[in-house]
Amino acid sequence: MSYRFDVLTLFPALFDGLRHESLIGKALESQTITLELHNWRAFATDRHSTVDDAPFGGGAGLVIKPDPLVHCLRAVVPAGARTILLSPSGRRFEQKLAQEWAQLPGITLICGRYEGFDHRVEAHVDDVVSIGDFVLNGGEVAAMAIIEAVARLLPGVIGNAASLTEESFADGLLEYPQYTRPRDFEGQTVPDVLLSGNHAEIAKWRLAQRIARTRAMRPDLLKA
């Protein structure tokens, strides 16, 4: 049975590249995963198909109305699917969440726009998630990032499943440095240990490099 991604978005065309390129495109073609896009503007009830309005209390911009979005959510989301609101104010998306969600039959991602959602929408979702401490024009890029992060953990999406075990964040450390041909590039050479054929020494070197790179670049991961 395919893993199902549902995405609620006002701009479904933004996902065209994701649907037709690279490993995600191949996974869709093989039906390892499915991706359903839903434009909640179709659930607006006025003649202008209005999905946003001015904020109560004043302020700049427009706020996403709760009624068309919630009506869409109720109509299209499969029973039991985990619903995730994408917002800068949500908890941070991390690899452990991708691993957790990959065990589910599917997830629903809700992409915001404008000044964000009417707060009452949060009562109708399971989680509120952010991909980082920055602000985008909308949630579509965040949704694509999460789809890639989760899909690549599913059986049949990545050709060599062993490549998932030692990559960054798989066990709380960053990945070790990788090298390929040529052995000498503008005076920078491949470490001798990688050319030694001694797999025990290579494994020891890689672990030491993972710890050193994590300490230098992401010491917060070591603390955690």
| CATH number of residue 142's parent domain | 3.40.1280.10
Same domain, 7 and 95: yes
In a domain, 67, yes or no: yes
Q: Measured over all CA atoms, what is the biggest interatomic distance in the chain, rounded to whole angstroms?
A: 72
Domain boundary among 95, 128, 151: 151
In a domain, 160, yes or no: no
- For the question of whether the overall pTM of this predicted structure is more than 0.85, the answer is yes
Cα 215 off chain centre by? 25
In a domain, 105, yes or no: yes
In a domain, 157, yes or no: no
What six digits make up the tokens of 162?
Answer: 């062993």
Structural domain including 12 reads 3-151
Same domain, 20 and 46: yes
Question: 15-64, pLDDT tens digit by residue?
Answer: 999 999 989 999 999 999 999 999 999 999 999 999 999 999 999 999 99
- Cβ atoms 9, 137 nearer than 8 A: no
Distance set, CA 181 to CA 167, 187, 188, 193, 197 (Å): 20, 13, 12, 15, 16
Same domain, 44 and 107: yes
Distance set, CA 60 to CA 48, 122, 174 (Å): 22, 21, 41
Question: 125-178, pLDDT tens digit by residue?
Answer: 999 999 999 999 999 999 999 999 999 999 999 876 666 666 667 788 999 999
